[in-house]
């Protein structure tokens, strides 16, 4: 591959193949009240099985966009298509991982992980078995009966991740899942996440502030401009993900992409 980075402004009129894009948003505009204009005419496609990152300066509307996709917020205009159907509320095909974990403080790790299943009425035995398997998958064995306050930030976020995986949704929505985790554990977590996703085959939509993180984990990076959020550019870093994490981080494509995005974002900073 010669050109490592594709940049394009999205074109709302281009017909997209619904089977290729599990989630699409069309012409989304969002106002909070009458004067906070958060998003302006956002059109985006999220290819099935890929990881898309939303990146942009603080307050540009990343969380807003993600919550609209999750069905947690209403749009002012525009629509969200999941598997070709317009949706306006949360559904079983999407699961959310929260920035501040959103764990139930009064429930054990097992109950927290099984909570999504509990809400959909899965019987106790079954959901605990399922929870257990994901607890093992995210590396939480031994923590089953602990309460959230006994866990460190990184471990808590793993619980949040396991909960989202347990409901077996096709799309994972993650809002800065690592921002409350310390830097070193974060790096480890990124590697673990990539590994896990390569096995689980999920579509992931991921919000982050970290350019390196975005470039490191994403198939597609959506760069948003400051409020009202518009799409600034879409970048597809074509990294060779088969190489080791350390090699990726010194890959020329990786470094070029980081530098380019940094150049773009820098102008918006205070």
Ligand X SMILES: Nc1ncnc2c1ncn2[C@@H]1O[C@H](COP(=O)(O)OP(=O)(O)OP(=O)(O)O)[C@@H](O)[C@H]1O
- CA–CA distance, 190 with 135 (Å, rounded to integer): 17
Smallest gap, in angstroms, from Cβ of residue 148 to another protein? Answer: 7
Residue 38 touches ligand X, criterion: CB under 6 A: yes
Q: Which does 250 bind (CB under 5 to 8 A by kind): Mg ion, ligand X, its own copies, none?
A: its own copies
Distances (CA, A) of 15 to 46, 57, 100, 228: 14, 30, 37, 26
Residue 99 touches another protein, criterion: CB under 8 A: yes
Q: Which does 270 bind (CB under 5 to 8 A by kind): its own copies, Mg ion, ligand X, none?
A: its own copies
Residue 104 touches ligand X, criterion: CB under 6 A: no
Radius of gyration from C-alpha coordinates of the chain: 18
Smallest gap, in angstroms, from Cβ of residue 63 to Mg ion? Answer: 3
Among 71, 139, 153, 245, binds another protein (CB under 8 A): 71
Both tokens assigned to 118: 């509990």
DSSP string of the chain, one letter each residue: ----EEEE---TTS---TTTEEEEEEEEEEEETTTEEEEEEEEEEEETT-EEEEE-STTSSHHHHHHHHHTSS--SEEEEEETTEEE-S--TTEEEE-TT----TTS-HHHHHTHHHHHTT--HHHHHHHHHHHHHHTT-TT-TT--GGGS-HHHHHHHHHHHHHHTT-SEEEEESTTTTS-HHHHHHHHHHHHHHHHHH--EEEEEES-HHHHHHH-SEEEEEPSSSB-EEEEEEE---TTS-HHHHTT-HHHHHHHHHHHHHHHTT--
Residue 70 touches another protein, criterion: CB under 8 A: yes
Residue 177 touches another protein, criterion: CB under 8 A: no
Smallest gap, in angstroms, from Cβ of residue 56 to another protein? Answer: 20
Q: Which residue stretch of 89-97, 191-199, 203-211, 224-232 sits at the interface with another protein (rule: CB under 8 A)?
A: 89-97
Smallest gap, in angstroms, from Cβ of residue 135 to its own copies? Answer: 15
Among 21, 24, 53, 64, binds ligand X (CB under 6 A): 64
Q: Which does 61 bind (CB under 5 to 8 A by kind): its own copies, ligand X, another protein, none?
A: ligand X
Residue 62 touches ligand X, criterion: CB under 6 A: yes
Cβ-based nearer residue to another protein, 16 or 63: 63
Q: Which does 38 bind (CB under 5 to 8 A by kind): Mg ion, another protein, ligand X, none?
A: ligand X
Region 150-189 residues binding ligand X, contact defined as CB under 6 A: none
x-or-dash pattern for its own copies, window 211-240, by CB under 8 A? xx----------------------------
């Amino acid at each position: 591959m010669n050109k490592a980075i594709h940049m394009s402004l999205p074109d709302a009129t281009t017909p997209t193949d619904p089977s290729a894009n599990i989630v699409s948003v069309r012409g989304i505009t969002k106002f909070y009240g009458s004067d906070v204009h958060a998003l302006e005419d956002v059109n985006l496609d999220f290819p099935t099985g890929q990881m898309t990152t939303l990146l942009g300066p603080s307050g540009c509307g990343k969380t807003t966009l993600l919550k609209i996709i999750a069905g947690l917020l209403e749009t002012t205009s525009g629509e969200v298509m999941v598997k070709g159907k317009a949706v306006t509320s949360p559904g079983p095909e999407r699961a959310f991982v929260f920035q501040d974990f959103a764990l139930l403080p009064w429930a054990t790790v097992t109950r927290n992980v099984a909570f999504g299943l509990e809400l959909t009425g899965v019987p106790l035995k079954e959901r605990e078995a399922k929870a257990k398997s994901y607890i093992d998958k995210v590396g939480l064995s031994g923590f089953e009966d602990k309460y959230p306050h006994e866990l460190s930030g990184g471990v808590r976020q793993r619980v949040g991740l396991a909960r989202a995986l347990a409901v077996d949704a096709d799309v994972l929505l993650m809002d800065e899942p690592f921002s409350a985790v310390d830097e070193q554990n974060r790096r480890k977590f990124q590697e673990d996440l990539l590994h896990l996703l390569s096995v689980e085959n999920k579509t992931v939509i991921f919000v982050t502030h970290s350019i390196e993180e975005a470039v490191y984990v994403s198939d597609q990076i959506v760069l948003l401009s400051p409020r009202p959020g518009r799409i600034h550019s879409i970048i597809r870093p074509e990294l060779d993900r088969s190489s080791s994490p350390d090699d990726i981080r010194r890959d020329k494509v990786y470094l070029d992409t980081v530098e380019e995005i940094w150049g773009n974002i820098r102008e918006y900073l205070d």
